[in-house]
A and B are shown apart, each in its own frame.
Chain A
Amino acid sequence: MSAKTQTGKLLEVTMAHRVGALSLRVEFALTQPWTVLFGPSGSGKTTVLRAIAGFVRPDTGRIVYGPQERTLVNTAEGVFVPTHKRPVRSAAQAARLFPQMTVKENVAYGMGWGSHPADERQVLVEVMELMRLTTLAERRPKELSGGEQQRAAVARAVAAAVAFDGVGDRVDKAMLLLDEPFAGLDGRLRDELAVGLRDWLARWQVPVLSVSHDVGECYLLGAEVVRMADGQVMEQGPVETVLESERARLLARLHAHD
């Protein structure tokens, strides 16, 4: 069953929020399986992500989750669904693995509410393989490198999103929010993980909104791009359209070095 509504909108965000020097004012809707919030640091990407996750309470705004039009935030009506009750699973940029648990226990943390534990075991195995964590399963977080910690943290959110089955809820799929999921990883591994993750999540029909400042990553994922700058949405569309100028600029700079 698709997570889209008749209008095709997965998520609608309208919000204004002031944090420090940044005055955030955004409005966008997600329609594609994987969307990237793209922009330089300080443009407000993470704040938007945290508002959708429920960690930031927007000054004003409305956030509606597509399927069955479930309102997560509506400041005008005083609606603010707490994080753990949202059909949303998220991973912050800092790994924050639970130090007393093994890698496997960490990845399985957000599972276990589903009605099909057998399926969940299979999901756990697949996620661990997908994120190249199988051989690290029994390690503790402090025994991992930074990149390994990050992979485990992403895997933990992915597993939680896939295992979400909306028990006691009207929503059937959780949305996955990832803040710079591949930022600390080296080129080749990053490419393989990104493509693998995209394809695997598409199979489960889990919609993703990630944050990135990396043009290559956006092309790799073939994602829809919402380009942000100075707290505003500048442009939204397929990566080829939105980031063409960005790509040209990078290529020009590359050639200038030749």
Chain B
Amino acid sequence: MPRQPDDTVPKVDDRAVRAAYLDAATAAPLHPVAREALLAALADGWADPVRLYAAGRRAQQLAEAARAAFAEALAVRPDEISLWPSGTAAAQAAVLGGRAGRARQGDTLVHSAIEHSAVLHAARTGKAVEVPVDRLGRIDLDAWDRAVSAPGTALASLISASHEVGTLQPVAAAAGYCAEAGVPLFVDAAQSIGHAEVPAGWSLLSASAHKWGGPPGVGVLVVRKGVRWISPFPQDDLYRPGAPGAVDLPAVVAAAASLRAVLGEASSVAARQTALVARIRERVAATVPDVEVVGDPDRRLPHLVTFSCLYVDGEALLHALDRRGFAVSSGSSCTASTLRPSHVLEAMGVLSHGNVRVSLHRDTTAEEVDRFLAVLPGLVAEIRAEAGM
């Protein structure tokens, strides 16, 4: 029997409870092109691409087309690309394989103090030298030059833009120092691809599909021709560089298709996001007392902004925002699984408690941002009042 609408249940005004997802830097919502490509590839690309029957050949066709699309989008050769189960796996493969490939020249990894924790964990498996950043989160280029020029340097690692505060790094200058020293540069571009140009000059680059609106579970690693990379994992029978085992082909197809779409609309999306982030930077500083908006105000990612509120428990603020329908993230220690403050905020010497990172996706509206800006000062004031401030 068909269900009858129950008119005794009051209609919920979904405008009032509609959530605003402001954590795209953790995982962007699936781009419509990714959704479409994923469904098509699930129907058509489920077979093992190495098999010789028709379904296998079809899967192989899809895999090759995806690789070609990545190559075109990243302006590299298809055989320079390998696919990994995540951006984390791709970044760790870059560090471990890049360092192993240079064993004859040295064993030390030079990295910025604000790399993603995946890179820092890989760095700690061997010798590493950390290069500090300034208050805005920009690496100290003189210290970088000294570190990469030192004897025994195998590889240098620089995040293209901070995933926590949005500051763009001077990749071109850093790459110049690496070239002078003959040291390959790995750039973790997970936060930049699809949002901001990554300057040339790197030897290895990694990216993560779910940061640009592709599905989760696809990491991309580019190793330029002539760069020696030795797999940190046992290889399979195919002797091709890459993650052991089969990739999630439908997800890879969706990742490639969405990257092409995202790059096509990137400049208009970035222009809109840059203006929204400028509004957040300006309004938060004007309406929340004792707040520090962190990161470079000008040379920054278009879609990401971070601020810290004095006397505020970051976890309490996250929960208060969540109750109002806003999803954001935080680098405060109370919100971290490690119970330590964010190493990025520490390296910059900025306030780590009461920290909020807001990151926008392509469909974030001015209305959502304004609703966030309207509720934030009151929530901060309530938490401070409870703490006796």
Please indicate whether A and B come from the same complex rather than being unrelated chains.
no
